[in-house]
Structure 1
């Protein structure tokens, strides 16, 4: 085979794969492609691709609307579907079939055609029926639309778009509906065209059919988020309608014709309350309800004047048409706030579960957490919940340890208490955090917590807990060669192993340990990480044991700290590795020596397990774990030069552990933007902006 043939082979295979994927797409979207083809063919035959359709002599015969139905042209709702008003409108029209394709990909051709056809017919016929009755009143907007004709498939494509939103996973489904309903309402109120009215009826039809928008079932957080979004939208709308002409049900307006005083006051109020609504503050809710009522009363006053005086009443402070339109939105917003009043009851921050009454029980303390761990046992990371900086929520079943950073309540590990009470503790923590306007999440939690989470919560694997089973442990065979080699070398060089506590050691040994730690921290350029990574301060706990490697000259070559793992009977079930430090000129393999010697000691004492902890961001993400997991894998690669998480993970593999997944558990992807910075602050509470910048430079350079 020639060189050119060998080089061309991969390209041929790639071309075949691309053709196969294209054929797969074509076979899965027959309805969408057929509808697009019909619209384009009709555009060519009817010349609509290069000249406006209303200028054609057959316009009245194909266009739909109230006049066509009144004159007996019953076929127009179907015939008008495949025409487009003007050549430029073909671009958004063809683009709107994207959602038809999405729906067909998810639900199939039959369901898609049913939504498209029924949505188009309902949009056209319901609009005609509404205008038939509305035009009987002296309503200029309705009378004007009642005499118009229209063409286009937008009613059907809008119905398919709404149906796609109904397929979103919660809570994105509720948020998607908020966007769809909001945009539709704005189109009717401020643009007021025949197509806008048709779109509104198509959306209402799908809403009534699917019943997929149930705000009363939304969480407290979702209700606050909706109030926050609507409040901001109201401010933006009032500014836009002040500078852009509108033509809605309340009449046409001109640019800069409204009341700047009214808009300014509304925007100022919105800026004051919007963040308070997001975190559920009661004062923000009260002020929003009052202001919604004020806007509604102003609109009622204008409407009353217009009924008493049929001619326009000149008012110095602005155009009443804009005021009536925006006040309609304020009225709807006020009704929503009243319906969701229970979601807005938070006050200034205090510990979760804390009461303002004098008789309220005292908040849990680290001593309470220790007592509960010794009574009911805990996981491999439970002892970390007794460290400085933790807060505690007392639940009906135990205690949930957490930290509060940047508006996020980060629960650490699993709830403390009987395993049977984990579900109640998780539920009560979520309720308390949301009630305080915080984002709840669970960090470094086990499968126990994941199994009792509310429906819809997400799970992200952040580490693998590396566990060595101690019963029957023997460093024999090839898998343990690295550990045996380190133990043998330590013995040859006269190294002494000692299991102790920091309080039992001499001043000289303590100074060496501090010097080793300070040298390690200085090399990093960032402070020692905390939260799930201890320091010598945590190692000073009498319950924490130290493993020392003492050289023949009396120097500390390296040391480890071990956190206790308690069983339900109050006995030590095992130990968790925390600190790992070595002297720069200590003997090679000192860490393997220390871990191997510690494992022997704990096994002789009757411990069951040894946890080497999980290296953060070192989990190898599988293809089916989602995009967020893949992004974390990329982040791990960026951080590797600074903290070496993957290197640490590879080191722990020398001890042939089994793995248990460690999770970050959160409500949905929308929370990750807040959870990420909160975790950074939890791990590096003392880092300065300069240190962050220097670490960023190191990452970019790969140092």
Structure 2
């Protein structure tokens, strides 16, 4: 695409965006025009002779300048302040984009007036009590639209789905509380009022039985914020409701101890560790007791001289620690995870003994499973015994990845899903289900996300006949094999001679050697998995005894031990051999399975080969782009197109996860699951190769 064509396509998009946010653009335009006319874009507004006539605050209202809450909105205090002020209007733009111009303008205008007027009313009352901080702010004037902008930002919290809505509210609350407690300017009080106003109007902050994960994440965020407060108070002068502190003036050793301890235990809180909870409670109690003693000393002897203004800082910090302590006590059950504990264990009892491999096989035979269930018997799998079945999974980089669907009776899948999720979250693991079917998708909590990552290609075998144009590729391959005397044999690895086994290994090693990365695992088997006596091999053998190619087939069981069909795993061919060997092998296998009475033949699903629809979201489109990048290395899309020759029907294969926040950890974990033996050098070489081919 040329630069001119790209620019021509971008113009309609930019115009569409601008037409969606006229209110925001109008307010920003007024601010800039006023900045030019009033010279605020290049000189400080308080230095202007008309400052008193436009600035709002308690003195302005007491002197009868009632218009100032509106007039002062469109001025900015200094040229530098225009940068954060204009950036803050991104919140209003987003609100207008999602809720319309009327809602955005009302949120901004009413939020600005409420922030200014309520702050003035609060200071008028608070200054009567001889509170130095309130008395000082009662005489301050200010200008700017930040109150309305912050109200719009807070209102944007309601636009997000749960649990992101609650998480963003925590960030907004934290900003407002820390700003008031430690900076304490007139604007900070206005911002806090604007946040409370937006909360009262939207009523969108509802922690209704927050999940185990969210309780830990909130503790993690608060702990980080407290650590940041300790550092900021050393570097920046503070002037909050409890008094002033000077930069680089304070109990250095106390702050350093707090920061070290907080840094040490913060990650433990994220993981739900009991020791981290205990240490944090002790630190909170220490801060609160210290503050209480200082307040007691000042109450007994108001004239006592303390070291600078340290007491004010300690009291302000202790307010946050007290709130944090209340939260920690209320959510204490979320912090019971212990390292090196078997998945599924809880306090007071150990986990049920995981099932053996033989038990897993017997469960699949007895209760049936999906087309990928036999992969649960491969090396590297772990198992969680639930009250209704067995959940096969792997752990990588703090993520517990379930392979396919839980095993056991179909009616027990919801119970197994719930028990696995609870056990994983209790041990601070990120739970997800990879290559799951529709039954598992329906069993996960309603708030979970579902992403189609592949399509299982299934050929129904009853009545199968290679007639008509759709089967021309298969008929051509079968006829050519007859002419060239290539024969088909359904067998197992143990039944073959040493010479044939060596040929299979040579073919497989040649295929692997062509890749910059090693063989993929997890949902893709290797020659080792064909040693299983229940796995069948389909061989194409030339007239002179050379193996032209081979397939491996995994058993698919139904309830009651019914052998429903087979799933394709390995596909390998000899270089320079019989051309349509794969069409010949799959067609011959299908004919054999149909004669044996099998119901289905699954050609499995190629990872990342699902064709993304317009309604599947940005994450799905990103995976589609990733598939394009990996295509030169693994050929997922080409494989998917090849399977279409066999006229299959499609069943979606899902990745199930809690929310988008987990994807940053699930992605690397899946890479490790698929490529457990790959080295950093191999990743780099593969990346360079993909760039060259692109």
Q: TM-score, normalised by structure 1?
A: 0.93
State whether structure 2 residue 312 is matched by structure 1 residue 321. Answer: yes
Distance in 2, Cα, partners of 1:241 & 1:143: 23
Matching residue of 1:4: none
Q: Structure 1, residues 161-197: CA drift from partner, whole Å, max 9, x if none? A: 1001221122222221122111122211222110000
State whether structure 2 residue 533 is matched by structure 1 residue 529. Answer: no
Match of 1:279 among 271, 277, 283: 271
Distance in 1, Cα, partners of 2:37 & 2:234: 43
Match of 2:485 among 484, 490, 494: 494
Matching residue of 2:401: 410
Q: Is the CA contact 1:349–1:436 (under 8 Å) kept in the aligned structure 2?
A: no
State whether structure 2 residue 262 is matched by structure 1 residue 266. Answer: no
Distance in 1, Cα, partners of 2:624 & 2:352: 44
Q: Is the CA contact 2:542–2:548 (under 8 Å) kept in the aligned structure 1?
A: yes
Which segment is superposed worse, 361-370 or 197-206? 361-370
Q: Structure 1, residues 266-287: CA drift from partner, whole Å, max 9, x if none? A: 1211122111111111111111
Quote the offset at 1:615 in angstroms. Answer: 1.0
State whether structure 2 residue 269 is matched by structure 1 residue 292. Answer: no
Quote the offset at 1:356 in angstroms. Answer: 7.3
Q: CA RMSD in A?
A: 2.6
Q: Is the CA contact 1:564–1:572 (under 8 Å) kept in the aligned structure 2?
A: yes
State whether structure 2 residue 54 is matched by structure 1 residue 62. Answer: yes
1:205-216 residue pairs with structure 2 within 5 A?
205-216=197-208
State whether structure 2 residue 227 is matched by structure 1 residue 235. Answer: yes
Quote the offset at 1:371 in angstroms. Answer: 2.2
Quote the offset at 1:405 in angstroms. Answer: 0.9
1:560-599 residue pairs with structure 2 within 5 A?
560-599=551-590
Q: Structure 1, residues 283-319: CA drift from partner, whole Å, max 9, x if none? A: 1111111111111111222222333343462339x83
Distance in 2, Cα, partners of 1:596 & 1:447: 28
Distance in 2, Cα, partners of 1:641 & 1:619: 17
Matching residue of 1:629: 620
Distance in 2, Cα, partners of 1:382 & 1:13: 47
Match of 1:513 among 501, 504, 509: 504
Over 3 Å counting, the alpha-carbon distance change for 1:359 and 1:400 in structure 2 is: closer
SS in 1 for 2:459: strand
Quote the offset at 1:422 in angstroms. Answer: 2.3
Distance in 1, Cα, partners of 2:178 & 2:185: 11
SS in 2 for 1:262: helix
Q: Is the CA contact 1:354–1:363 (under 8 Å) kept in the aligned structure 2?
A: no
Matching residue of 1:244: 236
SS in 2 for 1:257: coil
Match of 2:386 among 386, 395, 403: 395
SS in 2 for 1:569: helix
Quote the offset at 1:681 in angstroms. Answer: 1.4
Match of 1:201 among 186, 193, 196: 193
Matching residue of 2:648: 657
Q: Is the CA contact 2:353–2:385 (under 8 Å) kept in the aligned structure 1?
A: no
Which segment is superposed worse, 566-575 or 364-373? 364-373
Matching residue of 1:5: none
Distance in 2, Cα, partners of 1:386 & 1:118: 63
Match of 1:669 among 651, 660, 674: 660
State whether structure 2 residue 131 is matched by structure 1 residue 139. Answer: yes
Quote the offset at 1:14 in angstroms. Answer: 7.2
Matching residue of 1:465: 456
Quote the offset at 1:131 in angstroms. Answer: 1.6
Matching residue of 2:68: 76
Which segment is superposed worse, 177-186 or 512-521? 512-521
Matching residue of 2:170: 178
Distance in 1, Cα, partners of 2:149 & 2:173: 15
Q: Structure 1, residues 571-603: CA drift from partner, whole Å, max 9, x if none? A: 111110011122224311111111110000001
Over 3 Å counting, the alpha-carbon distance change for 1:644 and 1:24 in structure 2 is: closer
Matching residue of 1:158: 150
Q: Is the CA contact 2:108–2:152 (under 8 Å) kept in the aligned structure 1?
A: yes
SS in 1 for 2:543: coil
Q: Is the CA contact 1:351–1:391 (under 8 Å) kept in the aligned structure 2?
A: no
Matching residue of 2:327: 336
Distance in 2, Cα, partners of 1:26 & 1:375: 62
Q: Structure 1, residues 33-75: CA drift from partner, whole Å, max 9, x if none? A: 3333443444455554454433445443433222233344444
Quote the offset at 1:368 in angstroms. Answer: 2.5
State whether structure 2 residue 131 is matched by structure 1 residue 123. Answer: no
Q: Is the CA contact 1:306–1:313 (under 8 Å) kept in the aligned structure 2?
A: no
Matching residue of 2:447: 456
Quote the offset at 1:262 in angstroms. Answer: 0.8
Match of 1:379 among 354, 370, 376: 370
Show structure 2 runs of 5+ residues with no match: none
SS in 2 for 1:529: coil
Which segment is superposed worse, 683-692 or 424-433? 683-692
Distance in 2, Cα, partners of 1:455 & 1:602: 39
Quote the offset at 1:433 in angstroms. Answer: 0.8
Over 3 Å counting, the alpha-carbon distance change for 1:359 and 1:58 in structure 2 is: closer
Over 3 Å counting, the alpha-carbon distance change for 1:700 and 1:108 in structure 2 is: closer
Distance in 1, Cα, partners of 2:560 & 2:480: 39
Over 3 Å counting, the alpha-carbon distance change for 1:357 and 1:313 in structure 2 is: closer
Match of 2:680 among 683, 689, 694: 689
Q: Is the CA contact 1:224–1:344 (under 8 Å) kept in the aligned structure 2?
A: yes
SS in 2 for 1:558: strand
SS in 1 for 2:287: helix
State whether structure 2 residue 542 is matched by structure 1 residue 551. Answer: yes
Distance in 2, Cα, partners of 1:396 & 1:604: 39
Over 3 Å counting, the alpha-carbon distance change for 1:111 and 1:528 in structure 2 is: same
Over 3 Å counting, the alpha-carbon distance change for 1:63 and 1:407 in structure 2 is: same
Quote the offset at 1:81 in angstroms. Answer: 2.5
Which segment is superposed worse, 239-248 or 516-525? 516-525
SS in 2 for 1:548: strand
Q: Is the CA contact 2:342–2:350 (under 8 Å) kept in the aligned structure 1?
A: no
Q: Is the CA contact 1:372–1:417 (under 8 Å) kept in the aligned structure 2?
A: yes
SS in 2 for 1:546: strand
Quote the offset at 1:355 in angstroms. Answer: 5.6
Distance in 1, Cα, partners of 2:11 & 2:689: 44
Distance in 1, Cα, partners of 2:657 & 2:671: 16
Quote the offset at 1:323 in angstroms. Answer: 2.5
Over 3 Å counting, the alpha-carbon distance change for 1:25 and 1:702 in structure 2 is: closer
Which segment is superposed worse, 303-312 or 375-384? 303-312
Q: Is the CA contact 1:215–1:223 (under 8 Å) kept in the aligned structure 2?
A: no
Match of 1:436 among 427, 432, 445: 427
State whether structure 2 residue 630 is matched by structure 1 residue 639. Answer: yes
- Alignment size in residue pairs: 694
Over 3 Å counting, the alpha-carbon distance change for 1:92 and 1:561 in structure 2 is: same
Q: Structure 1, residues 217-250: CA drift from partner, whole Å, max 9, x if none? A: 3321122112222222322221222122222222
Q: Structure 1, residues 490-511: CA drift from partner, whole Å, max 9, x if none? A: 2222222111222222333223
Q: Is the CA contact 2:391–2:420 (under 8 Å) kept in the aligned structure 1?
A: yes
Distance in 2, Cα, partners of 1:691 & 1:490: 39
Matching residue of 1:223: 215
Distance in 2, Cα, partners of 1:547 & 1:222: 50
Quote the offset at 1:143 in angstroms. Answer: 1.1
Over 3 Å counting, the alpha-carbon distance change for 1:70 and 1:226 in structure 2 is: same
